[in-house]
Structure 1
Amino acid sequence: MADEHGKATQSAVRERNLTTALQLVLSGDGLATRAAIARRTGLTSATVSSLLAGLIADGLVIEGRLAESTGGKRATTLRVDAEHNVLLSVIVQPGLVRGAVVDLLGDVVTSIAHRTTSTATLDDVRSVVRRLAAATTARVTAVGIQVPGIADGDLIRESVQLGWVDVDLGRELSGIVSAPVRLVNDADAEAIADYEVSDEFGANLLFVSLSTGVGAAVIVDGAVLAGASHRAGEIGHVPVLFGDDAPVCACGNRGCLEEVVSVTSLLGLPHGADLEAVDVAALAALPESRERIATGARTLARALLMVGAALDVPNIVLGGAAPKLGADFIGHVRAEAARHPVRAAMPLSFRYAKTALEQPFRGAAQYALQSTLGVSWAR
């Protein structure tokens, strides 16, 4: 038993060191060397050479040009083999399934969009994954799938927007690709992408995604909080309006936050409308929309005062399609939060997300990369 324990410990240490070495190569911008990795990690040159030999044999790392001379023999640089290893990133929305082939440096190689005639189905997701797999000759390292709902391992526990309950998406996609399938909630994916590229708000924030639905992700000390049952941030179906005249939500309840502050509701669009197919900014400028936007912003601010105080997370990032609403919406949110300061709680700061609109596939791809290889595109 002692020998088995020792072997297991040695294996775990080697795996951790392999991950560290790969992260240093990935973040080295093609300039990493064996000697530099040894200095950064404190490992011996022989150990580092062994680790890199394994990563090269696995096809994840390749040798590049010779580094600049520092007086002795010129070292060989190392970089990840982004050309021959890719990730598939898929975003599932009620009326639209989008996907991209993303290389290991985070760059999109190719992307596709598949619009559905009704709510997206498993067949729609399978079709997009098949098309992406056929679009690349590189090895697929992992598949990241971003869904509006509760993702728990291989299962989508529930998605009100899609009408899915306990869907084993990993099993549903088996046979299409041999790579692991990693599911991630849409707000979590957007939060991961935004956090990786921006240090404006530090390591503690609440990311609120407003699109066809409403979801949130909590980042504490740089890590996304999952919650006891992977439901942390599911604020969209909390009632905020009460009475018989409160709007009926797709979940069956009345007055849910989603029915008041989702971008589709703010613009007066039907549930599940394809926001990629409309000019959100133009619709937001209409008089009837501006009234709904002001009311929705006040409601959202009041809800976030409670959430921010409960979590002691004072920084709020508004993502999804919210940035397309422009300065008026976030201005109303800021003003309402300032009108109702919470004693003993830090005042809330707000900004729009920086990444999701320009790089929509980055979040699911980053999650798949981190879950499979243990590395990330560092800020």
Structure 2
Amino acid sequence: MITGDASYIKKINRALIIREILKEGMISRADLSKITALTKATISAQAADLLEEELIVETQLEHSAVGRKPIMLSLNAEAGYALGIDLDFGQVSFMLSNLSGVPVFTETIPLDTEDYTEILQLLIQYITACQAKYSESRYGIIGIVIAIHGLVTTDETIQYVPRFQWASVDLKADLEKAVGTSIHLENNANLSAFAERAFIHHQTDNLLCVTLYSGIGLGMMMDNKFFRGHDGFAGEIGHMIVVPSGIPCACGNQGCWEKYASETSVFEQLSERKQVEPVTYEHVRNWLEKQDVDTQETMEQFIYYLAIGLNNMINMYNPDVVVIESELLQLYPASLPKIHSHLHSKISHYRELTLSGMGHSSCVMGACALAISRFLDVPVLNLPYGNEA
């Protein structure tokens, strides 16, 4: 039983009720009482508050059964909108979702600069435009979360972004001053992990999400919370050494995992072997369809080194679910069974290892989901996936 002062208990009950409404989509007060084990009086009082705040709406179910038509409660998804931003090297992606996490629009803008001031102005302009466009909804823009492909401290200061060569910049403060609202920064891999938990793996408490694109990142959800480490830098698993005295890495070490098992490493190897610059996913797809030996050998080596790091990671964290984000692995036949074939340690324990179906959009979807979680004050979200507004 939850104990504490009245305001704390009310807050916990409110989050529980909103979570179940989100999970079910549409639910009666009676069913809410059964599922949450809260009294009917508590459900009625909380529902009245949420209706007054226009966060939920009532709908009378039409059916032919004898008896009173039940009044169903559902989230007022259009009461506000979440803005997720993925600030990546070469492009910045924007997604606006409603309160159910359903995308309203997405846009990706090429980024031909690494200059902090120029990128700051671009973000300010876009955020300001969104604020103006959606100001007439009940709550307007309810939250803005930006994915950073680098080190973000626990107080949300950018410590270092390798591809931009940014060090110790306070993007959060600079944006908040310009747009007049709270901004939240989070590591991109953490947001991908949050998206996998919020939209796909609803029954998972401990989830690891490995992103293999330009480097290797690790997003960690432990007991449904981010695991960030002391300063917020946990998850830089791409710099785990898998080959002592191996390929030099920009971090200063040699033999880092991402030099052998990131998609960038595959593209670099294939570029050298095929004398093609730059190698694209389409190139790899075509070579695999033609059963090109160079491409198959490179992919097999990629999977071998990937499995070494996964084995280490699984033994360290003992997760429920491990999600791998990689477009290349989606292209390669039977990549998942091949990975499993290398994970034969008797002490490695996990429930599920899977390839992400969300792809590059997971990061920006996670940003929207985190903004919704903060606004509704519901730490563990179960949102629908696969819908569009």
User: Under a length normalisation based on structure 2, what TM-score does the superposition of the two structures give?
Assistant: 0.79
Task: State whether residues 323 and 353 of structure 1, in contact with CA within 8 Å, keep that contact through their aligned partners in structure 2.
Answer: no
Question: Which residue is 1:126 aligned to?
Answer: 124
Task: State whether residues 242 and 308 of structure 2, in contact with CA within 8 Å, keep that contact through their aligned partners in structure 1.
Answer: no
More deviation, 284-293/209-218: 284-293
Gaps in structure 1 of 5+ consecutive residues: 1-5
Alignment partner for residue 6 of structure 2, among 5, 10, 26?
Answer: 10
Task: State whether residues 220 and 227 of structure 2, in contact with CA within 8 Å, keep that contact through their aligned partners in structure 1.
Answer: yes
Question: Which residue is 1:308 aligned to?
Answer: 314
Question: Which residue is 2:101 aligned to?
Answer: 106
* Distance (whole Å) between structure 2 residues aligned to residue 28 and residue 289 of structure 1: 46
Gaps in structure 2 of 5+ consecutive residues: 272-277, 385-389
The alpha carbon displacement at 1:263 in A equals 0.9
* Distance (whole Å) between structure 1 residues aligned to residue 18 and residue 34 of structure 2: 15
**For residues 133-148 of structure 1, what are the structure 2 equivalents within 5 Å?**
133-137=131-135, 138=137, 139-148=140-149
Aligned residue for 2:173, secondary structure, equals helix
* 1:310–1:24 distance in 2 versus 1, CA, 3 Å: closer
More deviation, 109-118/56-65: 56-65
* Distance (whole Å) between structure 2 residues aligned to residue 39 and residue 378 of structure 1: 21
* 1:321–1:167 distance in 2 versus 1, CA, 3 Å: farther
More helix by proportion, 1 or 2? Answer: 2
Aligned residue for 1:110, secondary structure, equals strand
* Distance (whole Å) between structure 2 residues aligned to residue 201 and residue 261 of structure 1: 29
The alpha carbon displacement at 1:99 in A equals 0.6
The alpha carbon displacement at 1:147 in A equals 1.9
**For residues 1-379 of structure 1, what are the structure 2 equivalents within 5 Å?**
9-29=5-25, 31-66=26-61, 73-119=68-114, 121=116, 122-123=119-120, 124-137=122-135, 138=137, 139-151=140-152, 152-175=154-177, 177-199=179-201, 202-243=204-245, 246-268=246-268, 279=282, 281-282=284-285, 285=288, 288-313=294-319, 315-327=321-333, 329-330=335-336, 332-335=338-341, 337-338=342-343, 341-346=344-349, 350-357=353-360, 361-375=364-378, 376-378=381-383
The alpha carbon displacement at 1:348 in A equals 8.9
The alpha carbon displacement at 1:344 in A equals 3.5
More deviation, 37-46/13-22: 37-46
User: Under a length normalisation based on structure 1, what TM-score does the superposition of the two structures give?
Assistant: 0.81
* Distance (whole Å) between structure 2 residues aligned to residue 120 and residue 93 of structure 1: 13
* Distance (whole Å) between structure 2 residues aligned to residue 79 and residue 314 of structure 1: 30
The alpha carbon displacement at 1:325 in A equals 4.0
* 1:43–1:304 distance in 2 versus 1, CA, 3 Å: closer
- CA offsets 1:13-39 (integer angstroms, 9 cap, x no match): 12222222222322232x323333334
The alpha carbon displacement at 1:212 in A equals 1.0
- CA offsets 1:199-230 (integer angstroms, 9 cap, x no match): 59954443211011211123445444333333
* Distance (whole Å) between structure 1 residues aligned to residue 150 and residue 110 of structure 2: 19
* 1:166–1:55 distance in 2 versus 1, CA, 3 Å: farther
RCO comparison, higher one (Cα < 8 Å, 6+):
2
* Distance (whole Å) between structure 2 residues aligned to residue 334 and residue 120 of structure 1: 43
Aligned residue for 2:366, secondary structure, equals helix
The alpha carbon displacement at 1:330 in A equals 4.2
The alpha carbon displacement at 1:292 in A equals 3.2
Task: State whether residues 193 and 207 of structure 2, in contact with CA within 8 Å, keep that contact through their aligned partners in structure 1.
Answer: no
The alpha carbon displacement at 1:343 in A equals 4.5
* 1:171–1:235 distance in 2 versus 1, CA, 3 Å: same
Q: Which amino acid aligns with 2:108?
A: A
* Distance (whole Å) between structure 2 residues aligned to residue 39 and residue 363 of structure 1: 30
Q: Which amino acid aligns with 2:20?
A: L
* 1:40–1:343 distance in 2 versus 1, CA, 3 Å: closer
Q: Which amino acid aligns with 1:192?
A: F
* 1:59–1:150 distance in 2 versus 1, CA, 3 Å: farther
The alpha carbon displacement at 1:260 in A equals 2.2
Q: Which amino acid aligns with 1:319?
A: E
Q: Which amino acid aligns with 1:32?
A: I
The alpha carbon displacement at 1:100 in A equals 0.9
* Distance (whole Å) between structure 1 residues aligned to residue 231 and residue 353 of structure 2: 28
* Distance (whole Å) between structure 2 residues aligned to residue 131 and residue 265 of structure 1: 38
More deviation, 313-322/293-302: 313-322
- CA offsets 1:31-67 (integer angstroms, 9 cap, x no match): 3233333343344444333322322232322233356
Question: Which residue is 1:3 aligned to?
Answer: none
More deviation, 179-188/204-213: 179-188
* 1:77–1:230 distance in 2 versus 1, CA, 3 Å: same
* Distance (whole Å) between structure 1 residues aligned to residue 96 and residue 350 of structure 2: 41
* Distance (whole Å) between structure 1 residues aligned to residue 129 and residue 250 of structure 2: 31
Q: Which amino acid aligns with 2:382?
A: W
- CA offsets 1:290-312 (integer angstroms, 9 cap, x no match): 43333232222112222222223
Aligned residue for 2:307, secondary structure, equals helix
* 1:345–1:282 distance in 2 versus 1, CA, 3 Å: closer
- CA offsets 1:345-375 (integer angstroms, 9 cap, x no match): 3489642112235665321211222233233
The alpha carbon displacement at 1:154 in A equals 2.8
The alpha carbon displacement at 1:188 in A equals 1.8
Q: Which amino acid aligns with 1:61?
A: I
